[in-house]
Each structure stands twice: as C-alpha cells, then as structure tokens.
Amino acid sequence: MTHRIETDAEAGTAADADTDAETDATTHAGTDAATAHAWTALGGAPDLLEKVSYVPADGALPARLPVRELARATVGACSLAAAELAARRSGGAVPAVRVAEAAVATAFIGERQLRIDGRKPTNFAPLSGFWRAADGWVRTHANYPHHRARLLPALGIVDEGDDDVLVKRLAEELAARPAKWIQETVYEAGGLAVAVAPPPQTTTGAAAEPATGTATGAIAEFITRAAAETAIPLPGPALIESRHIGAAAPRPLPPAPLPASGVRVLDLTRVIAGPVATRTLALLGADVLRIDSPQLPEDPDAHADTGFGKRSTRLDLADPQDRQTFEELLGHADVVVTGYRPGALDRFGLAPDALLERRPGLVVAQVSAWGWSGPWAGRRGFDSLVQAACGIAALEATPDGHPGVLPAQALDHGTGYLLAAGVLRSLAERHESGGGRHLRFSLTATASWLMHGIAPAPGDTPRGDTYDAAPWLTERPAPYGRLRYARPPLGHAAAPRDWAHPPTLWGTDAPVWL
C-alpha cells in the first residue's frame, strides 16, 4: 500500500482526523499505573493525572515487555508537564492532555522512519550487534569511528579490508573468547562491548506483582540478584533523582504562546536520549543551543533526526576563549542538560554544584547510561548495550535463543521524554518558589522500571504490527536534504504540530542566544 506524506501546510491534519476517529476508545491516566508512577516521580500533583487520556493503537511497539505502556506514559507525563507550565504562566487551569499511541510509537522509532532525500540512514554499523562468544553472547557498539578504532585493536584485529572481511574476522575472534573477558578487555581499551546477561530467574515485576508504581518485594529481590549476575548496579525504585538547591528568588515566566517560550537551554548531549529531550524543549518554544567539542564530530544522520528546532555550535572548553564564550552563555541560561558520563565534564567546571554556584536558580538535568554510582557508572554506554547487559535482550530472545531487542530504542526515547518533563516541572516550580534544581536520569533506571514496575495493559498483543505510521510522518526541506520524519507525539493541545525550523548543519551556528 502506498501512503501519501503530508506537505508542511498539511502537517497535523491527518493526525487530528485519526485521533478524532478514535475518540470513544480512550484510556485515562488516572487508571494507568505507569503514568501515575512517572508523574509522581517527577513531583507532579496526583490530581492532575485525570487530565491525561490515551488513544490506543493496536500493534504499537509489540514486545514481551510492556514497551507500549512505558512509551505512552513518558510522553503523557511530558505532555502534562507542558500543559502545567503553560497554565502556570497564563494563570488559567491546566488543560486536558490527549496522547495518540500511534504518534508515540512512530516517534519512538523516529530514527528508523527518517529519510534524507529518500535515503534510509544506517542505524547500526556492520561491527555493531550481537555476536557469539565462547560461552554465550556479546553485544558491540562501533557506530562512531573512535569506538571502532578501539574495538578492533583490543581484539588483535587490524582495521584493513572491507567491512565484510572485518565482520568475519571479528566473529571468529569473539567466538573464541569468553563473553566477560571480551567485555572487560574492550572496556579497558576504551571500546564498547558487553556480555549479554542471562534471562532473569523470576518472572518480571510486571507479571509477578500488580503495577503499584513502586518496586518492592520480589522486584527488589530480583534487582539485587540481577545486579550480581550482570555486575551492573541496577537501580532500585527511584526512576528520577531530584534535588532542590539554594534559595534563589522565584523566576516567574510571563504569559507566552508556548510553555517554554523565552527559556534558554544549553544542550551538552549526544546520540538519542538527551537530544530527544532538548528537541522536545525546542518544540515547546525554548531557545536550545547544542554545544559539541570540535574534536568529537557527530554523525550527520543522527543530527538530522534530533536537531529539529535547535541550533548547534562547537566550543573547545579547554580553550580559554571558547571557555569564556561558554561562561557568557551560561550567565544567561535557564537550563543546562548534559549527557556525558558522570564526572566527565567536571574538569571544565561543569559539575552540577559548580554550575549552580555560578548561576543560582539554574536547572541542571543529567542523563547517563549506567547510573550514578557503582563500578559501571563511569563506563560508556548506549541503549542497545544496556538492553543487552541488564537482561532485556534475553527476555526478548528469538525462539532459537538469539538475543532480541525492544521494538524501539525505548530506553533512550523514554528517558528523553522523562528528562524533558523533569525540566518543564522544574521551571513550573521555580516560577513560584525559586531555587535551583538538579535532576538525574539514567537508561538503567528506565530499564529497571520497564522490567519490574510496569504491567502490560489488558488485552495487549505481544507480537504484531497493525498500526499505521503514515499519518504521523511529514516532510520538509532542510540543509541536509529533504527530510521525511516523525512528527512530535506530545498531546498538549497548544503544543505545535511541528518544530519551528529543521535541523541546522551540525556545529555551524553562532554561539549566541537569540
């Protein structure tokens, strides 16, 4: 079947029609435990949950684990946070939020839906993926050139010949060695490989206990055992860590067309989770300036996906002049979002407490792969590696035992929407009570919530693909070429149907506020 893609002027029309057609089939967040858990973790008032409802989409994000419920809950919480902030600014009541699961599912696989002049980007490089080890399986990640350059030498492989030859050579080397040995050897070389954890010895929390929004009893026991099996410090029930810092005066935001209008965001993130969060803030009106090191180039396809609505510049924080430019930007910023390993930016004076000392009242939000404590905290990580190392790949394995994956990079996307929601809620609180905020999120915390804290909705189909993504896609020209992409999934009625502008070329914008 051929589906028409909307033009810029038509964006939103098909979505509205699709949503209206399913008005009678809604789920209210007041009865959705996952949404209640996320909203409560964000510090939101429980009575606002009655404002949220979902339009279902059969077959969206099919998986053994409740990915569909996680996805809609994170977008629902983010939409509600946007509606709450808008109401705080205008003085009116918080409006209703209505989220279409089809829009959520399409956005969660946005990097796979992306087309650039009709070309489908490569999401995983040939040397990234699952491989048999001598005693199990490992997962590698070599999408970035510097990760590939560390992976191969760690295993005694010279980076010569075409990719087909190197794939065969890598498979041979990995098959001859134990999974944990591969994991630690590659880590010591600065590369990325993890042993695939075995399936849990108990059923997931979603099946073992009702979804009460807390992880207790058998869930806590499972987390402890899983940590011992994988050597990863899986977090407990805390989905989000938050601190209120200082007694800076309130920063009331004046009425504005969009919830985050006038908010200035320094974006020091890469890949998916952090950029999804800041892309969402840009959608809602924030002036988002992404800052990257000139020594650490970004994949242009990745930036074409997550750069919507933002600007992008390059600063070397080790250079005195660039550092001064950063400090001038910080002096007028409302929010700083970082996505690097814990402590990686501290040497530049970018530890949260140092930032808040220089800029009282700032909102600092951090996201990491492996959490904030324990032996894995300082390791590099990606969604695919967290899935492999914490047991998700085993839970989603194919019938022949090959490790499986979630139907989306759901840890990345889900954490991204939670982070955006946390920033919006912090701005709403600061609007009235002042002070700074420090928020911390991690992919492992989201993974733990998915595995142990969410129950599948009644009647969910574990496998299948019946929903239509086409109404939720649109096209527009951009410096990278003509882009086909997923539209924003937020259900706040006043949220734009599309970003104000397409992604600019990575690193080419001036380091100034608009």
Q: Which helix (H) or strand (E) holds 352?
A: helix 352-358
What is the model's pLDDT at position 7? 34
Looking at residue 285, its amino acid is G
DSSP code at position 6? B
Distance CA 37, CA 32 (A): 9
pLDDT of residue 230: 44
Flag whether pLDDT at 289 surpasses 50. yes
For residue 275, the SS3 value is helix
Determine which helix (DSSP H) or strand (DSSP E) holds 68, and give its type and residue range. helix 67-90
Return d(Cα 422, Cα 440) in angstroms, integer.
Answer: 9
Res 297: pLDDT: 86
Whether residue 228 is predicted with pLDDT greater than 50 in this model: the reply is: no
186 vs 249, which has greater pLDDT? Answer: 186
Q: In the structure encoding, which two tokens stand for residue 225, read together?
A: 């055992």
Q: How far is CA 308 from CA 29, 277, 424, 461, in A?
A: 29, 11, 19, 33
- In whole angstroms, what is the distance from residue 239 CA to residue 23 CA? 31
pLDDT-based confidence at residue 433 (cuts at 50, 70, 90): confident
Coil, helix or strand for 440?
Answer: strand
Q: What is the pTM of this model?
A: 0.89
**Backbone phi and psi for residue 202, each to the nearest 5 degrees, phi listed first:** -120, 165
Q: Is the pLDDT of residue 167 over 80?
A: yes
Give dist(CA 49, CA 32) in Å, integer. 9
Give me the numbers of helices (H) and strands (E) for the chain, helices first please. 18, 16
Question: Do residues 280 and 78 touch, judged by C-beta distance below 8 A?
Answer: yes
- Least confident span in 12-16, 195-199, 210-214: 210-214
Q: What is the pLDDT of residues 393-423, one digit of tens each?
A: 999 999 999 999 999 999 999 999 999 999 9
For residue 248, name the pLDDT band (cuts at 50, 70, 90).
Answer: confident
* 281-285, 369-373, 378-382: range with highest mean pLDDT: 281-285
Q: What is the pLDDT of residues 129-163, one digit of tens each?
A: 999 999 999 999 988 888 899 999 999 999 888 88
Name the token pair of 455: 């129950």
pLDDT, averaged across the chain: 86
Closest to 312 measured CA to CA, from 289, 296, 282: 289
Residue that has been written with the tokens 């989306």 in this structure = 408
Whole-number percent of the chain with pLDDT over 70: 85
What is the average per-residue pLDDT within 235-244?
77
Give the mean model confidence (pLDDT) for residues 63-84. 96
* Nearest alpha carbon to residue 241 among 501, 88, 43: 43
The Cα 185–Cα 174 span in angstroms is: 12
Q: What angle, rounded to 10 degrees, do the helices at 101-108 and 67-90 form?
A: 110
Q: What is the pLDDT of residue 37?
A: 94
The per-residue pLDDT for 123 is 81
- The residue length of the chain stands at 514
pLDDT at residue 251, rounded to an integer: 81
CA dihedral 44, 49, 54, 59 (to 10 degrees): 60
For the chain, first and last CA: distance in Å? 44
